[in-house]
Amino acid sequence: MQMPNPPSPPGALSRRALLTGTAAAAGLGLAGCGSVSGGLSGRTRVKQWNLLAGSDGAVMTEMHDQFAAEHPDIELEATTFGWGTPFYTRLVMGASGGNASDIATIHLSRLKSVSPATLLDPITLDELTAHGLDPADFPEKIWEQCFAGDELYAIPIDTHALVNYYNRTVCEQVGVLNPDGTLLETHGVEEYLDLLRAVKEATGQYGTSLDTLGGWRQFWAWYRQADGEMTFGDGEYEMDDDKALQSIEIMYRMAEEGLCPTFADGGQCAANFENGAAGLVQVGNWEINRFKAFDQAQGLDFSMTEMPDFFGNRRTQGDCHSYVLPRHHSWDPEVREATLAYAAWMLRHSFRWGEGGGHTPAYLPVTESAEYQALQPNAEYSGVVQNVQFDPDVWFSGSAARLFDETGAIFNQVYGLAMTPDEALALVKERIQALLDLPNPVD
């Protein structure tokens, strides 16, 4: 099955993810009960856990190699675990026993669900500034998400989001490109559906492809564009039913007209774009490497932009990868220093992260640089940083969480025309309430 909500798809441990030859299965045993300065090598060892097993994981490993070459006094031991639940389960178990890594990469939307006050160690602003970082180096709305209470627990790495790829050859054929080769910006649902109809006529199959199993992404993007809110508290929640139904009706209309597939998992979603069955595809920016590789092998003149403006803006569903420090019984000062030096180095060198992994660096000195703004197609969708919409603030929400999976199964039936929008909305509300009735594991 396709990955639930991550930029990096789930999969078996890749040898790319290992910097020192350590197997992931041995990760807990190697972690130790606290930070320890120096391993067999006599160098300061920093243990890093992540869930990046996809093409972005290969870029991360490349960056790790460069970091190691520039820091011969630090032994970086990086371990990749299975994307989603396997990773978060390992992180929680390791941190609760004091056996986790020194630093871990998580989705920022999952920060509260990993109980930062009990399972993570806070980071001081003095520590950041000592390593050349400053709160002003990050988008304000992202930075605010890094706190639990008054304590800073996360350092944002990037923004990754649902974006809109387009085949220039097909789009030029039907006249929906600007003179500079970028996709025409539409305003409102009808203008965009007209664009898809024109593209569908050219492809003979679909206007756009999308992952019907990942329908939460489209739903949340369109719901938030309409200023829809979803708030939780005391066993209850509030959602705007009219705006929610409006978003689900768009799914149904697109599928009913044949403007998108009635079923496509993650692999089929991308393949429809590669083989010309669809002239556009709505999928995460993390697929950029796949499409670049296809372009090099078989030719695919593509670019990418933000989600279309349906309701007066270009908001989209997304998240951030972030660094956190799992709880330690005790920190060796040299290890903590080396750990933060690693994080700061990765941010300062995140141009490569954006170029190779497709994610938009959260570190503004990189994103706002002339070099990054000249990077194509990345610069065309760099504004997504201001438009990304995190999932609702509740323990069962966020990347690789149950809200995505359980609503996704419902939206898949909408795209498949097996369920009406009204039926789907009723079932979504039923599932949300059922999740809300469960005990909060963080509490």
CATH code at position 310: 3.40.190.10
Quick: pLDDT tens for 354-413. 998 899 999 999 999 999 999 999 989 988 888 999 999 999 999 989 999 999 999 999
Residues 312 and 326 in one domain: no
Residues 293 and 338 in one domain: no
Residues 327 and 407 in one domain: no
Residues 144 and 176 in one domain: no
Q: What is the DSSP string of 238-291?
A: EE-HHHHHHHHHHHHHHHHTTSS-S---HHHHHHHHHTTSEEEEEEEGGGHHHH
62 assigned to some structural domain: yes
Report the candidate in 272, 276, 268, 274 with the shortest Cα–Cα distance to residue 289. Answer: 274
Task: Specify the pLDDT at position 442.
Answer: 72
Q: Which two tokens stand for residue 36?
A: 């320890």
Task: Specify the pLDDT at position 17.
Answer: 34
Instruction: Check whether 31 has a pLDDT greater than 90.
Output: no
Quick: pLDDT tens for 93-127. 999 998 899 999 999 999 998 999 999 999 999 99
349 assigned to some structural domain: yes
Task: Specify the pLDDT at position 38.
Answer: 54
Task: Specify the pLDDT at position 40.
Answer: 55
Report the candidate in 76, 77, 123, 118 with the shortest Cα–Cα distance to residue 95. Answer: 118
Residues 296 and 239 in one domain: yes
Count of structural domains, the chain: 2
Residues 255 and 400 in one domain: yes
Instruction: Check whether 204 has a pLDDT greater than 60.
Output: yes
1 assigned to some structural domain: no
Question: What residues make up the domain containing 426?
Answer: 162-318+389-437
Cβ contact 259:197 at 8 Å: yes
Domain boundary among 334, 367, 400: 367
Residues 422 and 299 in one domain: yes
Instruction: Check whether 1 has a pLDDT greater than 60.
Output: no
Residues 330 and 243 in one domain: no
383 assigned to some structural domain: no
Task: Specify the pLDDT at position 308.
Answer: 97
User: Is 79 in a helix, a strand, or coil?
Assistant: strand
- The whole-chain average pLDDT of the chain stands at 90
Report the candidate in 288, 309, 96 with the shortest Cα–Cα distance to residue 195. Answer: 309
Instruction: Check whether 11 has a pLDDT greater than 90.
Output: no
Residues 213 and 228 in one domain: yes
Structure-model confidence comparison of residues 386 and 425, the more confident one: 425
442 assigned to some structural domain: no
Instruction: Check whether 281 has a pLDDT greater than 90.
Output: yes
Residues 177 and 97 in one domain: no
Q: pLDDT band at 42, cuts 50/70/90?
A: confident
Q: pLDDT band at 21, cuts 50/70/90?
A: very low
Report the candidate in 120, 49, 426, 111 with the shortest Cα–Cα distance to residue 244. Answer: 426
Quick: pLDDT tens for 292-348. 999 999 999 999 999 999 999 999 999 999 999 999 989 999 999 999 999 999 999
Does the pTM of the predicted model rise above 0.85?
yes
Residues 173 and 286 in one domain: yes
141 assigned to some structural domain: yes
* Residue indicated by tokens 């009735």: 437
Over residues 37-49, the mean pLDDT reads: 80
Residues 297 and 423 in one domain: yes
Instruction: Check whether 15 has a pLDDT greater than 50.
Output: no
